Amino acid sequence: MKFMTLAHSFTTIGTIFAPLLTSEFILPYIFHPYRWGGIPFNPPSVIGYTSMYLLFIVLIVGIFATISGMMSTAKECKKVEFWTSAVSAKWAMLFAIIGSAVIYFLSVIKAPLLVIMSPVPYSNLLVTGIILSMFVAFGHYIGNNYNIRDVCDEKI
């Protein structure tokens, strides 16, 4: 089996921008005050906001991993099965959760990249995405191997 660079890079690049997309576009849209009854607005709790943040990150990673899995099987054996790709995307989503937990509990690992990327706008979210993409790339590689094996009927 060959290493699929385009498929892995698709998921990895999507993961880099997932925290930025979630924090700056999706969550402000969902938690807009007019959507929840007007201006005396009670913001969501920390647990509610964090769980929604994690949910949307995992959904974005799952979408990219599913599309990437379909691209891999189309290139490898010219077959595309949506549900098999969606099920094998669970590995990328699992590693996105693990990576988010590692980044949350060991946030000091972001410090060297934050120093380098300090002039870049939204550098904190991009650094989070870069570190998260390393975890997701590993999980996607595992899931993609299962996906190709199941769709293409190859023996690994």
Candidates 102, 97, 80, 109; CA nearest to 139 is 97
pLDDT tens digits for range 77-95 = 888 889 989 999 999 999 9
CA distances in angstroms from 24 to 17, 81, 98, 103, 112, listed in the order given? 11, 33, 22, 19, 23
Mean pLDDT of 118-126: 90
Distance in angstroms (rounded) separating the CA atoms of residues 9 and 32: 33
- HSE (CB half, 13 Å, CA atoms) of 1? 21
The model's pTM: 0.85
- Count of positions (residues) in the chain: 156
pLDDT at 129: 93
Q: What percent of the chain has pLDDT over 90?
A: 46
Query: At residue 19, does pLDDT exceed 90?
Result: yes
Range of the domain at 112: 5-152
Domains in the chain, number? 1
